[in-house]
Chain A
């Protein structure tokens, strides 16, 4: 459903090299790689936010509905959660249901900055779902959450992925453990300029083992 033919991306010096890949319905991709290598840059390019990447480099995006969970919540701080969901096209009922789904039932009339970091991120996730996405982009969804909140959010996202088998996901993370829970496919971005070093489809039974084998070769903990 999506084909990447990114020829490279410059910030004076090349940041992103050639990235060729296809994404199909139901792909749950975790995008791993060292800090600052350009994972968010790649995600922005896929989302169409990078003006220096021509539209022709991301084939098929025009036909897709995209939900993007940014690192910050990026909800409109002057609008209630309910209004934020309504703005992207959710009906009144849908907004209520979605907030309930992410554990924020009854918080519709709150302003985003009245919420804790974890709650605001869940509200932003509800907005992603409000557009009924074909492609869900997650940029470090578990960063700076305490382990309990991070665990809850992982379970929540895993549940959403299970209930929507047609949706594709690309999730930027540092943590191989996230990938073990969420991914059925693994991208590893590295090098100068950065390229996809691996594009592995993980078979379901060997998923965790195969992944852990791969991760043993790397030292992702420092990044």
Chain B
């Protein structure tokens, strides 16, 4: 028996997701409760919010925080991960801290940042970065440990500059690990950003969810959530997948005809 591998075929998405919407519509129609709006209600809310510009404003604010936090977390986490993977001493120094941070609930970091630095943008982004850096560092550390020493020796003999070594020797080998960190990172970061916004910002999807929660506006909650899921999927399809395809082309080269 062949187990399921990789992505299921595309048609499964076209059958399962619409069926789910139909099921949701039926349930909502049967219940007739304001706590479960119909898909049409949600779509209606989405169109209204988007026409007024509200949706775009808050989506944009959230996306900006996600991007800034993501870039910072990846840069810091990658640097720490490489150093930890290459140096026993650094690993011994940082590993206990990493264990501590990995097990620290996101909510605690967010609260502490807000308490210590106030309800400001920097505190919000820092809270997200602190939550994500340990994951990136751990993943990249694995990659840095598996760097091929034979290519290291080659780079030493041929006097590669630091920049050449990073760009030409390390990054291609770390690429699968960086992609794993990116995938996991994006999924984690946007969820944390929503909590950060809910607790202490006055813009963003998280803030809107908070407002909708106050008045039990479930249609708005679903509208904003679906809009953001769509954005995240778009990033996956338009940026991550093409990037991954392009950068792993060398892995399955066709044999030379010679």
- Interface bits A36-66 vs B (CB < 8 Å: 1, else 0): 0000000010011100000000000000001
A111 — which chain B residues lie within 8 A by C-beta?
A: 250, 253
Other-chain contact of A70, B150, B160, B256 (Cβ < 8 Å): B150
Cβ of A110 under 8 Å from chain B: yes
Whether A66 lies near B157 (C-beta < 8 A) is: yes
Cβ of A76 under 8 Å from chain B: yes
Report how far A195 CA is from B158 CA in the complex, Å.
Answer: 28
A74 — which chain B residues lie within 8 A by C-beta?
A: 150-151, 153-154
Cβ of B241 under 8 Å from chain A: no
Cβ of B258 under 8 Å from chain A: yes
A72-B256 in contact given A48-B156, A66-B157, A88-B158 (Cβ < 8 Å):
no
Whether B172 lies near A78 (C-beta < 8 A) is: yes
Report how far A17 CA is from B4 CA in the complex, Å.
Answer: 57
Within A103-117, the residues touching B (CB, 8 Å) are 107, 110-111, 113-116
Task: With both chains docked as a complex, state the minimum distance between the C-beta of A44 and any C-beta of chain B, in angstroms.
Answer: 7
Report how far A50 CA is from B156 CA in the complex, Å.
Answer: 11
By the criterion of a CB under 8 Å from any partner CB, how many residues of chain A are at the interface?
25
Report how far A76 CA is from B168 CA in the complex, Å.
Answer: 8
Nearest residue (CB) in B for A71 is B150
A119 — which chain B residues lie within 8 A by C-beta?
A: 256, 258
Cβ of B233 under 8 Å from chain A: no
Cβ of A207 under 8 Å from chain B: no
Whether B256 lies near A76 (C-beta < 8 A) is: no
SS class of chain A's interface: helix, strand, loop or mixed? loop
Other-chain contact of B158, A107, A115, A131 (Cβ < 8 Å): A131
B153 — which chain A residues lie within 8 A by C-beta?
A: 44, 49, 70, 74
Task: With both chains docked as a complex, state the minimum distance between the C-beta of A65 and any C-beta of chain B, in angstroms.
Answer: 9
Whether B168 lies near A79 (C-beta < 8 A) is: yes
- Interface bits B145-156 vs A (CB < 8 Å: 1, else 0): 000001101101
Cβ of A142 under 8 Å from chain B: no
Other-chain contact of B254, A78, A79, A114 (Cβ < 8 Å): A114
Cβ of B186 under 8 Å from chain A: no
Cβ of A87 under 8 Å from chain B: yes
Within A65-91, the residues touching B (CB, 8 Å) are 66, 68, 70, 72, 74, 76-79, 87-88
- Interface bits A111-133 vs B (CB < 8 Å: 1, else 0): 10111100100000001000100
- The residue in B157, B160, B254, B256 that gathers the most chain A C-beta atoms within 10 A of its C-beta is B157
Whether B150 lies near A116 (C-beta < 8 A) is: no
Nearest residue (CB) in A for B157 is A68
B250 — which chain A residues lie within 8 A by C-beta?
A: 77-78, 111, 113
A114 — which chain B residues lie within 8 A by C-beta?
A: 253-256
Other-chain contact of B169, A44, A47, A49, A76 (Cβ < 8 Å): A76
Whether B256 lies near A107 (C-beta < 8 A) is: yes
Within A122-176, the residues touching B (CB, 8 Å) are 127, 131
Cβ of B164 under 8 Å from chain A: yes
Whether A72 lies near B150 (C-beta < 8 A) is: yes
- For this complex, 10 residue pairs linking A to B, each with C-beta atoms less than 8 Å apart, are A49-B157, A66-B157, A70-B150, A70-B153, A74-B153, A78-B172, A107-B256, A115-B258, A119-B258, A131-B158
- Residues of B with Cβ closer than 8 Å to A? 150-151, 153-154, 156-158, 160, 164, 168-169, 172, 250, 253-256, 258
The 3 closest A-B pairs by CB, nearest first: A78-B250, A74-B154, A114-B253
